[in-house]
Amino acid sequence: MPLSSPCRVTVTEESPYPRDWSRRPKGRIRANYTLGPLATSRRAEYNQEYLKKTPVLIKTPEFSQSAEKAKFKRLAKEWKRDIVVHSSMTKIATHPAYQKIIGMGSEVLPFLFEQLKSEGDEPDHWFWALAAITDKNPVPKESRGRINEMAKAWLEWGRENGYVELA
Amino acid sequence: MSNWRDWPTGFTLCTEPDFAHYFPRLRPEHCVGDLSDATRKYNCFAWAASVDTDRWDPDPFFQYFWPDSVPRDDTRDAFVLAFGSLGYQVCGNGDLEVGVEKIALYCLNGKPVHAARQLENGHWTTKFGDFEDVEHIDLECLFGPEYGDKLVYMKRARMVVE
């Protein structure tokens, strides 16, 4: 008997449904009976066989995080490649890859903070994305435009909100 | 086709793969004088205003410096007002005038994307993105797909630095 998806059961001789659909029984049919006794007993067996032959990708939290991080890295690389000669933040932040990073939402925040922390004295242009995702602005007025002070303010905010590990 | 060896020493931007595409008119002979180090600490708009400690940008999230009285728009008018707050006024050309400091805003699709400042010798100084600032002999050499080919000139009395 061919294997099918575990969600589907092959109709067997025990099915009350005739091949000619127009001659189906009238009225409600009990659900367990529609599967047929043979199909019901073999369902678990089918599932086991199906799983043995079909690799199943289980998205654990760790897997999801590494996939998201890889996506962030790929988008960041694409973005950096295209904005090298630009100074205008509108040009820099409206790049499609940067917009996709923003679109990843709060899941990308740990990677953004990690990246920001790793860049030290020359932080990259992550401030727009951080502000857009968090809807916060921890940068004091006197620090606007001073990227080292901006990074410090954002990393402090990240620590307070659990995105950056305490040193 | 120029070789990277022809460019001023330390001009790392010229090693970018798409450099010739970004600046199809720029040649090594356009670039003169010394270069700064590459940095993100200031951008071309701040550099046009002779500032090398801040980044100037009208971003909507109030992250970067922008004059208080000026709308945070990336429009030509907002940039004219921003530089106007430093005493610059729109003028008609980039010709060298004694005692006058000029800046030029490069506009692409009506929006300023770059700025350069005129030096006393008539050359211009430009900060390229996160790269070096470079002295170049004219403004047209930066025309291309990234900085466009439309200029807005502004001028003010040249400050005397003692």
Percent helix, strand and coil across chain A, each rounded to 5?
A: 60, 0, 40
Q: Which residues of A touch B69 (CB under 8 A)?
A: none
In angstroms, rounded to a whole number, what is the distance separating the alpha carbons of residues B79 and B71? 9
Tell whether A87 lies on the interface with B, counting CB pairs under 8 A. Answer: yes
Q: Give the nearest partner residue to B129 out of A84, A122, A127, using CB atoms.
A: A84
Tell whether A93 lies on the interface with B, counting CB pairs under 8 A. Answer: yes
Closest approach of A85 to chain B, Cα-based (Å): 4
Partner-chain contact B39 A122, CB within 8 Å: yes
Q: Which residues of A touch B45 (CB under 8 A)?
A: 87-88
- Which pTM value belongs to this model? 0.78
Closest approach of B35 to chain A, Cα-based (Å): 16
Lowest-pLDDT range, A47-56, A158-167, B144-153? A47-56
pLDDT band for position A165 (cuts 50, 70, 90): confident
Q: In chain A, whose CA is at the least distance from the CA of B58?
A: A89
Structure tokens at A166: 């305490």
Contacts (Cβ under 8 Å, ≥6 apart) of A164: A113, A114, A117, A155, A158
> Percent of chain B, pLDDT > 70?
96
User: Residue A54: what pLDDT?
Assistant: 65
Q: Which of B36, B45, B63 to mutate to test the interface with A (most CBs of A within 10 A)?
A: B63
Half-sphere exposure in the Cβ direction for A145 (13 Å, CA): 23
User: Residue A32: what pLDDT?
Assistant: 46
User: Residue A11: what pLDDT?
Assistant: 47
CA angle B33, B36, B39 (to 5 degrees): 155
Partner-chain contact A85 B64, CB within 8 Å: no
Per-residue pLDDT tens digits for A58-108: 556 666 778 899 999 999 999 999 998 999 999 999 999 999 999 999 999
User: Residue B21: what pLDDT?
Assistant: 86
Q: Give the nearest partner residue to A85 out of B41, B53, B128, using CB atoms.
A: B128
In angstroms, rounded to a whole number, what is the distance separating the alpha carbons of residues A150 and A127? 8
CB pairs under 8 A between A and B: 94
Per-residue pLDDT tens digits for B25-80: 888 888 887 788 889 999 999 999 999 999 999 999 999 999 999 999 999 999 99
As beta bridge partners, residue B112 has: B107
ipTM for the whole complex: 0.90
Per-residue pLDDT tens digits for A119-161: 999 999 999 999 999 999 999 999 999 999 999 999 999 999 9
